[in-house]
Amino acid sequence: MKPGVYPGLSRAEYEAIPAANYSTLKHFNLSPAHAREYMIHPPEPSKAMEFGTALHSAILEPTKFKKEYIVAPTVDRRTKEGKAAWVAFEAEHPGGNYLSTDEMEGCNTIIKGIDENETATLLLRGEGKNEMCVVWVDEETGLLCKGLIDRFTSLFGWGVVVDIKSTVSAFPPMFAAQSARMSYHVQAAFYIDGLNAVAPSERRFITLAIEKTRPFCMSAFEYDEQAISEGRAAYRRYLNEYNSCKETGKWPGYPAGINPLSLPKWAIKDQSYE
């Protein structure tokens, strides 16, 4: 696939593009072996991940969401009656994506919350492209790269990348910690630079963090220059390592050698006596 912007690709079409992406690169934070394992044996999505996918669909593809997502009946599939009821339900709705009543209510509550939140409305309503695929060639390594941007819009004259994250807490100090743990700033820098490789311009990257439990509060965040710089340095290391592994066919794990090991402070008992 040639470098460019491709709105409207299905998830399967996006996954089929043979290019480096953030989901793979972030595993180089541990080792190339971890990245290779993710590529060969991607993990099954957790329940939290499945809800995050459903929420993305509800926000960004509401028509598709209403068509594909169905509330599953509450039955005990350990019993004969429950098994029969579930088989009948699946036969009536083949290939559907099933949500519990609470999950569906959560999605609907969040959609209502977006419409009542001035910032979220500015970011998610009006003109813009949802689920926009970007493909580019990294100039330093020559690697083909890709990213799937939740939404691209304009705000006060700026081009804006909007990234939606479902989270345990959108309270600023707690989300900042989660963002660092999950390397969201690396994704931000990767996407901004990818867009610039296709069409150079000044752009902003804004994350809309939405709590996945009641009361489903939300907050919008924009990384400062230091965070983007740190993210850029990280993904550059990962891309260079990825390129080296592809060229050599070697995907090493942790470095050889004996590491010094100290106990964390919380594990050390105070042994002093008066």
SS3 state at 227 = helix
Read off the amino acid at residue 61: E
- Rounded Cα distance between 230 and 26, Å, is 13
Q: Quick one: 164 exposed, middle or buried, by C-beta within 10 A (0-12, 13-18, 19+)?
A: buried
Tokens representing 26 are 């972030």
Per-residue confidence in pLDDT tens, the chain, 274 aa: 899 999 989 889 999 999 999 999 999 999 999 999 999 999 999 988 999 999 999 999 999 999 999 999 988 889 988 899 889 988 988 888 999 999 999 999 999 999 999 999 999 998 999 999 999 999 999 999 999 999 999 998 999 999 999 999 999 999 999 999 999 999 999 999 999 999 999 999 999 999 999 999 999 999 999 999 999 999 999 999 999 999 999 999 999 999 999 999 899 987 554 4
Tokens representing 232?
């850029």
CA distance 274 to 64: 69
Angstrom distance (rounded) from CA 24 to CA 76 = 38
Classify the phi-psi angles of 198: left when phi > 0, otherwise alpha if psi is within -120 to 50, otherwise beta. Answer: alpha
Distance separating alpha carbons of residues 182 and 49, to the nearest angstrom:
14
Q: Are 58 and 110 in contact (CB under 8 A)?
A: yes
Domains of the chain: 4-246 (3.90.320.10)
Residue 3's pLDDT is what?
96
Task: Give the angle subtended at the CA of 238 by the CAs of 235 and 242, to the nearest 5°.
Answer: 140
Q: Helix (H, G, I), strand (E, B), or coil: what is residue 112?
A: helix
